[in-house]
Structure 1
């Protein structure tokens, strides 16, 4: 009996590793797609924001969820819509981004508090959190790497470094890439073994 218990614990560890690798591979693939097709990604995220807003309106009309939860959700979608104006550029120091993050934390707190007091089935709670709270922020998180390949323009708001050469300034900033895709690329290069191609 003890051996089977240890074996089940080992299988859970192996399953957790496989799930983690599958999620990482999926995120890497999604980040690649967003970088390649930024216009389509913006369109998909915009329609997701509209659909989530309509779901919140539907919850106000047809369900007995508290009004403040749905109002927080609608405010969150409005903030996401404002952030999408400059897509794929996401300025993490902007007031809109900071307000959206704070509103998301407050929305999570209120949702956890409400669903902790009132009984709903697990599938209903998971549906609310997945569709009303996590879909759009997750899509925006994956699309953060699309900003890495935006072409430079002379109308940038940040001052140019050194001389007024747009290309030199752009390439000097490119050396400091901190995004989801660059993290996965670094992990792929450092963890996975590299194959050497033989030249004949």
Structure 2
């Protein structure tokens, strides 16, 4: 009996590895799709935000959630709409991005406080977190890699690309320097792939 018990733990570890690999492959595929179809991605995220706003209205009308949770959730979605105005460019130091991150933290704190003090079925709690808390931020997280792969325009006047930093005049070289130091999801997966996958060697035949 103890041998089968050990096998159950071994099989659990194998299943976790397979699930992790499947999630990583799915995220990598999504990041490539977002990079390829930027305009369509922006439209999908906009409809996600609208769906979340409608969900908050439904929660306000049909559920007994605190008004603070609903109001803060709506404010978070408004900041997401503001982020879409410059999509696919993101600046982590912009007031809109900082406000969106702060609202994510506030909304999670309010949600954990409410559901910790009031009993709801696990499926309903997960439904709230999935649709209202995680759906739109996850879409923006996957879209971060797009910002690193958009070609720069110019470094003069109001057309300065967000990829450029003040004082940079060589647009092309700055673009490739930034691209090499990408921190988006696709860049992370590419770096992992390069470090794990052995480099291909070609032998010249005579």
Q: Could you tell me the TM-score, scaled by structure 2's length?
A: 0.90
Q: Where do residues 118-197 of structure 1 align in structure 2 (5 Å cutoff)?
A: 118-154=118-154, 155-156=159-160, 158-161=165-168, 164-193=169-198
Q: Is the 8 A contact 1:30 1:142 kept in 2?
A: yes
Q: Equivalents in 2 of 1:116, 1:145: separation in Å?
A: 35
Q: 1:44 to 1:199 in 2, by over 3 A?
A: farther
Q: Is the 8 A contact 1:160 1:169 kept in 2?
A: no
Q: Equivalents in 1 of 2:92, 2:146: separation in Å?
A: 14
Q: Equivalents in 1 of 2:31, 2:204: separation in Å?
A: 32
Q: Is the 8 A contact 2:148 2:178 kept in 1?
A: no
Q: 1:52 to 1:191 in 2, by over 3 A?
A: same
Q: Equivalents in 1 of 2:132, 2:202: separation in Å?
A: 48
Q: 1:189 to 1:168 in 2, by over 3 A?
A: closer
Q: Equivalents in 1 of 2:201, 2:128: separation in Å?
A: 48
Question: How many residues are aligned here?
Answer: 198
Alignment partner, residue 53 of structure 1: 53
Q: Could you tell me the TM-score, scaled by structure 1's length?
A: 0.92
Q: Is the 8 A contact 1:160 1:166 kept in 2?
A: no
Q: Equivalents in 1 of 2:102, 2:199: separation in Å?
A: 42
Task: Please list the CA deviations of residues 72-104 of structure 1 after superposition, one character each: whole Å capped at 9, or x if unmatched.
Answer: 110110010111110000111111111111111
What displacement does 1:4 show? 1.6
What displacement does 1:199 show? 7.4
Q: Is the 8 A contact 2:152 2:175 kept in 1?
A: yes
Deviates more, 1:31-40 or 1:10-19: 10-19
Q: 1:100 to 1:183 in 2, by over 3 A?
A: same
Q: Is the 8 A contact 2:35 2:143 kept in 1?
A: yes
What displacement does 1:116 show? 1.1
Gaps in structure 1 of 5+ consecutive residues: none
Q: Where do residues 76-95 of structure 1 align in structure 2 (5 Å cutoff)?
A: 76-95=76-95
SS in 2 for 1:169: helix
Q: 1:44 to 1:197 in 2, by over 3 A?
A: farther
Q: Equivalents in 2 of 1:63, 1:85: separation in Å?
A: 32
Alignment partner, residue 107 of structure 1: 107
